[in-house]
Amino acid sequence: MIDLYYFNVLPLIYNYSNNLENLFILPVLVFLTLFTGLKTMLIEPQNTQSHNYQSKLNGKYPFDNILFYPKTICHTCKLEKPARSKHCSICNKCILLNDHHCIWMNNCIGKGNYLYFYGFLFGNISVTTYAFLRLLYVLLRSKALISNKPVLTLFILSGTFSVICISFTYMQLSLIKDGMTTNEKDKWFTIQEFMRNGRLVRTGAPQEDSTWFILDPDLDTQCLGSSETKYYSTNPYDHTVYTLSDFTKVESPKDIPNIYDFGSFWANLKDVCS
C-alpha cells in the first residue's frame, strides 16, 4: 500500500495535497507503524524459559484458583506455569500474559511487547483511516480520478483495512477494559457457560477465598444436591473426582471474581504494557 501510494497515487493527487502531510504527517505515521510493527515482531515476550522471569513478575499475578492454579506443570515445557501464562505451540514456550500468537507478526503477544503491539494497531488505524479520508476528499473534488485504477484500489484497500483495524482494536481494548487477555476471555466464556447451565458451584467463603467446581458433565443438574454427586475442579489439570457436602450454586457472573481486573481501563492498560 505504501509503494502504491508513493509511486502511483501521489503523482496524481499531488495538487490536492500539501507539504505538511507529504513531508511530515504521513512519513511520521508510516515510520511509527513500521517501527512498532518491527518491535512487536522482534521482541520475545517473557516466558518460563526466560532468565529471572519470576523476579521480574515479583508475585504480580497471584493464582485465582478459577482459571489458574498453582503447581501446574506444562505438559510440553515440563516447567511450572505461572498465573496468566499459556503455552504457545508455535513459539514452543509458556508465554507470560499470553494474549494470542499473531500470525501477521509471527510472534506471541505477551508480557514485553504489548505496548508495541498497541502502537502498531494505532499506527495502522491512523495510516489507513487518514489515507481513506484523504482520498475520499480528493475523489469528491476530481470525478476523473474515480476511474483511475491505482487511486480507486488504494481507496478501497485503505477503507477496508481501516474498518478491519478499528474492529480488531476495539475488541482488544474491550478485553483490556474487562481485565482479560484473549486467552483468558475463552476460559471465562467456558466458566460462564457452566454457570449458565447451572453446573458451576463454589465452596468456602465468597469471592477470592472460594474453591470452584463443575458438576460431572454426565450428570443432570437435578443431581446437584445429592451427596453422591461427582464434581470436578475448574482446573483442567486436576482430574480428581470430588464429592461436596457444603457448596453454593453460582448463578451470576458478578459472583465470579476476576482478580486480574485492576478496576479501570487505564489501570489494566498500564499493567499489561509495563
Q: 218: how many CB neighbours lie within 10 A of its CB?
A: 7
Rounded Cα gap, residues 226 and 256, in angstroms: 24
For Zn ion, the closer CB: 90 or 164: 90
Q: How far is the CB of 183 from Zn ion (least distance, A)?
A: 11
Q: Which of 102, 165, 223, 273 is catalytic?
A: 102
For Zn ion, the closer CB: 64 or 99: 99
For Zn ion, the closer CB: 108 or 154: 108
Nearest to 44 by CA among 104, 101, 84: 101
Q: How far is the CB of 234 from Zn ion (least distance, A)?
A: 20
For Zn ion, the closer CB: 87 or 202: 87
Q: How far is the CB of 266 from Zn ion (least distance, A)?
A: 27
Cell of 254: 458478578
77 φ/ψ angles, rounded to the nearest 5 degrees: -75, -25
Based on the residue annotation, tell me whether 102 is a catalytic residue of this protein: yes
Residues with Cβ within 8 Å of 257's Cβ and at least 6 positions away in sequence, in order, are 64, 66, 207, 208
Binding positions for Zn ion, rule: CB under 5 A: 74, 76-77, 87-88, 90-91, 94, 101, 108
Rounded Cα gap, residues 159 and 254, in angstroms: 39
12 φ/ψ angles, rounded to the nearest 5 degrees: -80, -30
Longest dimension (CA), the chain: 81
Q: How far is the CB of 87 from Zn ion (least distance, A)?
A: 3
DSSP code string of 195-249:
HHTT-EEEESSSGGG-EEEEE-TTS-GGGGG-TT--EEES-TT----B--SS-EE
Q: How far is the CB of 124 from Zn ion (least distance, A)?
A: 20
For Zn ion, the closer CB: 75 or 143: 75
Enzyme catalytic residues: 102
